[in-house]
Structure 1
Amino acid sequence: MAVRAGRGGRWRAPVKPRPPSSLELATEDHDLENEATFRRLGFFDLDLSGRSADGVEFEQCRFKGSDLSGTQLDGAAFTDCLFESTNLANLRAEKSSMIRARLSTLRMTGVHWINGALRDVTISECRLDLSSFRFTDFSSVVFEGCNLTRADFQNADLSGVRFTNCDLTGAQFSQATMEGTRFANCVLVGIGGVTSMGGAVVAHQDLVALSYTLAGALGIRIEDAEEE
């Protein structure tokens, strides 16, 4: 494994979401149903928890103060969407996509985004502990100021991701693609799959904690100079 402190894959900042010219407020009549399409709607303070739907599409929508916890989506698509102060805890989305989106101050504990895709997405100040992004492809995605303790990125393509000021304690990266993945001012204690981090770019201040994890994965014993 090569962990470089220099330049890795070329980085491209996420493209910002394209806001609608006007926004209509969603009501309880805008419930999640199979193959439903929602365009230019504001989902403000609505309870959409515990739902199950396939093929739902959201375009130029905004979510604020709403609850989608425990909802299950299959083949969902979010394009040009904004999420703020919304509850996505234990949301399960499979084969779903998110393109040009911004998520801020969300509760996303236990969210499962499996075998999906995120492109041009910024996720900031979100609680993502125990989340799972297995087999998901990331392109131009930023995690900033997020709690990602024990998050699972197994088999994910993270080559287009930047982690900044994130807590990744105990996160799992086994068999992930990480050429050009960038870490800055992150907690990297006890991460799993550290040998999959070939090509990652790590800030020098983060390297000390990572080196202990790497040594443990390789069976290297670290001892004080005074020890015999």
Structure 2
Amino acid sequence: MRRRTSPAAPTVPDQLEPALPGLESEDFHEKRFFDGADLIGVFAQDVEFAQCRFRAARLAGAVLPKVRFGDCLVERSDWSNTRAESGTMERLAFTGCRMTGLAFNGGLLRDVTFTDCKVDLTNWRFAKFDTVVLSGCNLAGADFTSTDLRGASFVDCDLTGAQFHNATMRGARFQRCELAGIGGITSWAGAVVHPDDLLGLSYALAGALGIEVRA
């Protein structure tokens, strides 16, 4: 079956109720607007957000194991160093967000877009990307070890130093990306790479094969 390359858009109502203060384990937040919400460093597990909007919301350093997001818009928010292991994202759109150091290892992303986001030093180990598009993002130093990237597309992204060891790459797409210093190049079998990216990829491959490139 041919994989979709365009994620389904989130469905979020125009009219939303203001978010309730605080966050507790097993909370269910539906049709809420987290406008400027301060959730820095909170701990809450098995929380679910459905048809919510986050604008300039701060979740930096939050610990949210097994969190579930469905049909959400996230704009100009700070999720840096958030830990959301084994979480789920379905039909989400991130725009202009800071997510440095986010840990989403073991999670599922389905129908998700990241646009102009800072997603460097993130941990996606053992996660699955199903119809996910990252455009104009800084992913320097991101860790995709053992990640299923068959449904991922990277466009105009900085992947300097990103790690792909044991990743599943068949069908993953890369276009106009910075690939200097990437690790795990031998896992790239079946990836689809734009001709403009071949030079950077060739240096990574040469390094993996022990080839020294010099003038």
| TM-score band, normalised by shorter chain | over 0.9
**Alpha-carbon distance in structure 1 between the residues aligned to 2:62 and 2:131:** 26
**Which stretch of the first structure deviates more once superposed, 10-19 or 130-139?**
10-19
Identity %: 48
| Structure-to-structure mapping, 1:15-94, within 5 angstroms | 15-20=8-13, 22-28=15-21, 31-94=22-85
Q: Which residue is 1:192 aligned to?
A: 183
Q: Is the 8 A contact 1:27 1:46 kept in 2?
A: no
Q: CA deviation at 1:114?
A: 1.0
Q: Is the 8 A contact 2:5 2:153 kept in 1?
A: no
Q: Which residue is 1:113 aligned to?
A: 104
**Alpha-carbon distance in structure 2 between the residues aligned to 1:223 and 1:167:** 24
Q: Which residue is 1:176 aligned to?
A: 167
Q: Which residue is 1:135 aligned to?
A: 126
Give the aligned residue type for 1:79. G
Q: CA deviation at 1:12?
A: 2.7
Give the aligned residue type for 1:62. R
Return the TM-score normalized by structure 1. 0.91
| Higher normalized contact order (CA 8 Å, seq sep 6+, divided by chain length) | 1
Pairing 1:149–2:140 present: yes
How many residue pairs end up in the alignment? 214
Q: Which residue is 1:5 aligned to?
A: none
Return the TM-score normalized by structure 2. 0.97
Root mean square deviation of aligned Cα: 1.1
Among residues 103, 110, 113, which one is paired with 1:122 in the alignment?
113
Secondary structure in 2 aligned to 1:207? helix
Give the aligned residue type for 1:199. G
